[in-house]
Amino acid sequence: MRMTNKIMQNNSLYNINQNKILQDKLSTQMSTQKKLTRPSDDPVVAIRALRLRSSVSELVQYEEKNAPDADSWLKVTSDGLGTVTEILTNMSTNANKGANKDLTPDDLDIIVTQIKSLTSEFYATGNLDYAGRFVFTGYRTNTPMSFTQSDVSDVVNPIPDYNITEQKKLADLDSINYTSQGKIKGANKNNYTESEHAGAKETEVTNGDIHRLRLAYDDVKAGTTPTIKVLGPDGSVRTTVAVTDTKSINDTPDPYEDILDANENGTDKVIFVPETGEILFSDSSFASSFLSNDSEIRVTYDKESSTWKNGDLRPEHYFACTSTDNSKTPAEVINYNSDYLNQLYDKRVRQTIEYDVGYNQTIQINTTADEVFTHNLNRDVTDLQKALNDLKDIFTTKNELEDILKNMDPSDAGYNDLKLQVNAANKAYDYIRDNIHGIMEKMITKTQDYLDATNVAVTDNGTRSSRLDLISKRLTEQKTTFKTLQSENEDVDIAEVAIELTSAELTYSSSLMGTGKIMQTTLMNYI
């Protein structure tokens, strides 16, 4: 084979260029500290690099973003539940003080005022938010747990009308003690001789317990009657309880006196009281309506826009309900939690928020309002305030009539009648005072129940937080491991590359010098 100068020149240039390419590759690796600049450099390493980068990216998302956000939510929830625990503990302490029978109505008034203040703080805690998201309101993180004063006073966008269906168990029904004062009710030193109070006797003062189904709200829409259905364990409707009468607390006789009379006479009677949101049952009606402890009771009723108050819990966080905004044309209707009606009370699925914090790992971060913030606490305090008002009224009546009696001579006209009134007032006072004592004792027990429910929520939240800590530690270790693998797969050995680059530079320089000398001799030198 004949080898010409042109062939030698081309071969030399090709080899010099290859040396330059190697030098460029090593120089690029030195500056980027990576093995690859394009997938074709090493397809196996490139595929492994893509997989490792994807894993590291996911781990960074979990470890640096999702887990810290979940941890912050859990800590805010923990702080809120800690406040609730402290509030309920203080409330129990006050109820324990109020259970002392030696306290005067003024002393009780101070205690009840403190309990009401704690109750307001209890519900205010439910509006706790984290980064603009309310933590106790399930999926509706942009909606506070309760109505605010601005909601109540907003004329342009008023609170809608609601149709609410409450799901209850037989254990949710309770009883109240009521004292019928007869003619002595409302008597004072100025009117005790008037016909409506004169002739009051002890025999007119009666007392008894009344079965009650207490709705979550008072001031229910007047002129409407709640629908009461009793369901069996399979969800089928066993019976529908008919409300026989709707009465105001200002009626004469009032609804409680009506039920006491029905109890005495063995009459079936169910009375709805819109102002207080109570459904009262006579003994016979209660016995015939609710036959089994495993029954679910569903009560459907309406509550108008104008009757909502500051601090009322929003029904959409608790019940299946429908809101109707009549201020808009056409009226805007929104259905909430309609799936609750396909589930029994004790099997309802809560609106849990879960965060992805690892491969196929999620953790619940929220505690829902119905786990802690019950309507019953506010309703219990309302009962207590009503009983205290009755006690203060009868206490005033008793004291005023006793003062008048002290200044009268037994021979004076009307002395005997007044003495009967005083006896009636004392009897009524004793009954109502005993009722206050009973309510305080019940409040101790109920507050402990609320505290137990809160402690369960605290424990659940703490368990999730502990689990998240373990997951976070594992994520940190995994991220370190995968970054090490990524580095081993992609990063170059700087010392090795430096040596190879120096060698390539020397080879390149030598090839230039040698080729320059060899290419100086041509065929013309022999002619």
Predicted confidence at residue 490, as pLDDT, reads: 62
Residues 179 and 325 in one domain: yes
Residue corresponding to tokens 């609320």: 450
Whether residue 70 lies inside any domain: the answer is: no
Q: In the β-sheet with 174-180, what is the strand arrangement from edge to edge?
A: 174-180, 206-214, 278-281, 270-273, 245-246
Q: Are strands 332-336 and 320-325 parallel, antiparallel or unpaired?
A: antiparallel
DSSP annotation of 329 reads: S
Whether residue 370 lies inside any domain: the answer is: no
As given in the structure block, the two tokens for residue 127 are 């509006």
- Decide which of 330, 349, 368 is a domain's last residue: 349
Q: Report the distance separating Cα 145 and Cα 371, nearest Å.
A: 13
Maximum CA extent, the chain: 170
Q: Report the distance separating Cα 262 and Cα 251, nearest Å.
A: 16
Predicted confidence at residue 70, as pLDDT, reads: 93
Predicted confidence at residue 322, as pLDDT, reads: 96
Say if CB 331 and CB 339 are below 8 A apart. no
Pairwise pLDDT comparison (497 vs 82), residue with the higher score: 82
Number of helices (H) and strands (E) in the chain: give both, helices first: 11, 15
Predicted confidence at residue 28, as pLDDT, reads: 67
Structurally, the chain folds into a number of domains equal to: 2
DSSP annotation of 66 reads: I
Residues 313 and 175 in one domain: yes
Mean pLDDT of 439-444: 94
- Cα dihedral sign, 315-316-318-321: positive
Say if CB 289 and CB 239 are below 8 A apart. yes
- Decide which of 326, 349, 372 is a domain's last residue: 349
Residue corresponding to tokens 């007047």: 222
Mean pLDDT of 195-223: 93
* 3-state SS assignment for residue 320: strand
Whether residue 162 lies inside any domain: the answer is: yes
Predicted confidence at residue 348, as pLDDT, reads: 75
Q: Report the distance separating Cα 432 and Cα 178, nearest Å.
A: 8
Whether residue 254 lies inside any domain: the answer is: yes
Pairwise pLDDT comparison (458 vs 37), residue with the higher score: 458
Q: Which amino acid is at 230?
A: V
Mean pLDDT of 457-475: 93
- CA gyration radius for the chain? 41
Whether residue 249 lies inside any domain: the answer is: yes
Whether residue 358 lies inside any domain: the answer is: no
Pairwise pLDDT comparison (515 vs 444), residue with the higher score: 444
Whether residue 142 lies inside any domain: the answer is: no
CB count in 10 Å sphere of residue 335: 12
Q: Report the distance separating Cα 167 and Cα 296, nearest Å.
A: 7
Residues 26 and 162 in one domain: no
Predicted confidence at residue 90, as pLDDT, reads: 96
Say if CB 296 and CB 167 are below 8 A apart. yes
Predicted confidence at residue 1, as pLDDT, reads: 58
- Decide which of 349, 379, 399 is a domain's last residue: 349
Q: Per residue in 245-302, pLDDT tens? A: 999 998 988 999 999 999 999 999 999 999 999 999 999 999 888 767 777 899 999 9
Give the domain range for residue 10.
1-33+514-521
Average pLDDT, the chain: 87
Pairwise pLDDT comparison (128 vs 39), residue with the higher score: 128
Comparing CA positions, the residue from 301, 258, 297, 308 lying closest to residue 280 is: 258
Mean pLDDT of 136-161: 92
Residues 176 and 323 in one domain: yes
Whether residue 125 lies inside any domain: the answer is: no
Q: Per residue in 17-48, pLDDT tens? A: 777 776 666 666 666 666 666 666 667 767 77
Mean pLDDT of 161-168: 95
**b/e per residue 126-152 (b: at least 16 CB within 10 A):** bbbbbeeebbbbbebbeebbbbeeebb
Instruction: Say if residue 58's pLDDT is above 90.
Output: no
Q: Before 315, cis peptide (omega within 30)? A: no
Mean pLDDT of 147-170: 92
Mean pLDDT of 397-403: 94
